[in-house]
Structures are given as C-alpha cells and as structure tokens.
Amino acid sequence: MYRLLADAAMVAHFAFLLYLALGGFVAWRWRRTLWAHLAVVAWGVLSVVTGVECPLTHVEDWARRSAGQQGLTAGGFIDHYIEGVVYPEEYTNLARLGVTVLILFSYAGYVLRRQ
C-alpha cells in the first residue's frame, strides 16, 4: 500500500509540473482554468524563491521509506527525478528560464485570443 501511495504521489507531482509548464495553453480553450494555473505558477515561484518543499515530496518520501524503499534524495522531487536525469544539473537555471518563457508565451497567447 505504501508503494502505491508513493507512486501516486510521484505521478501527481509529474502531472503538477506538466500543468505548470503547459496549463496556460489549456486556458486558451477553457478560460476558467487560468485561475488554477495562476495558483500553480504562484506555488512554483514560491518553491523556487523560498525553497519550500511541495507536500507531495514529503508524502512520496515517507511512503517510499515506509515501503522499505530508498527515499528521495536530499534535494527532493526535482533533484531525484529531473535534474541530472532530464537535463544536467548545471542547466537548472536555463530549464527554469525555458519554463518561464513557455508560461509567458501561453499567457500572451491567452490575451491575444481573448481580443
């Protein structure tokens, strides 16, 4: 049961990050989702600026350890699954910039589509 919970937290975390990057484009079709995306972006900025960890990170780490598996690395979800796996660690700021540009582009498109 703990492993299932850990896997569910991991999938939810990946879905959250996918929505963070692409949710602005979803708002092009479903306008009401813009508010949810703004909240997700606010959380993402808060976590990058202040270093506060996502509760999903704690849930997954606890569940993995309770299942007898290795927990997440000290840096959390991003350090464990993304940095050094999807892109080299030295490109973290470039990856953040890319996501920021993607979000800003999606918001610009949202505004243009509304006019």
Q: 21-73, pLDDT tens digit by residue? A: 999 999 999 999 999 999 999 999 999 999 898 999 999 999 999 999 999 88
Give the per-residue pLDDT at 73.
82
The 10 Å Cβ neighbour count of residue 86 is 10
- The CA-based dihedral angle spanning residues 43, 45, 42, 24, taken in that order and rounded to the nearest 10 degrees: -110
Count the domains in the chain. Answer: 1
Indicate whether 84 pLDDT > 90: no
The predicted model scores a pTM of 0.89
Q: What are the Cα distances from residue 8, in Å, to 37, 39, 62, 106?
A: 21, 22, 13, 28
CA dist., res. 98 & res. 42, Å (int): 17
Which structural domain range is residue 25 located in? 2-114
CA dist., res. 100 & res. 24, Å (int): 11
Positive or negative torsion for Cα 9, 83, 40, 101: negative
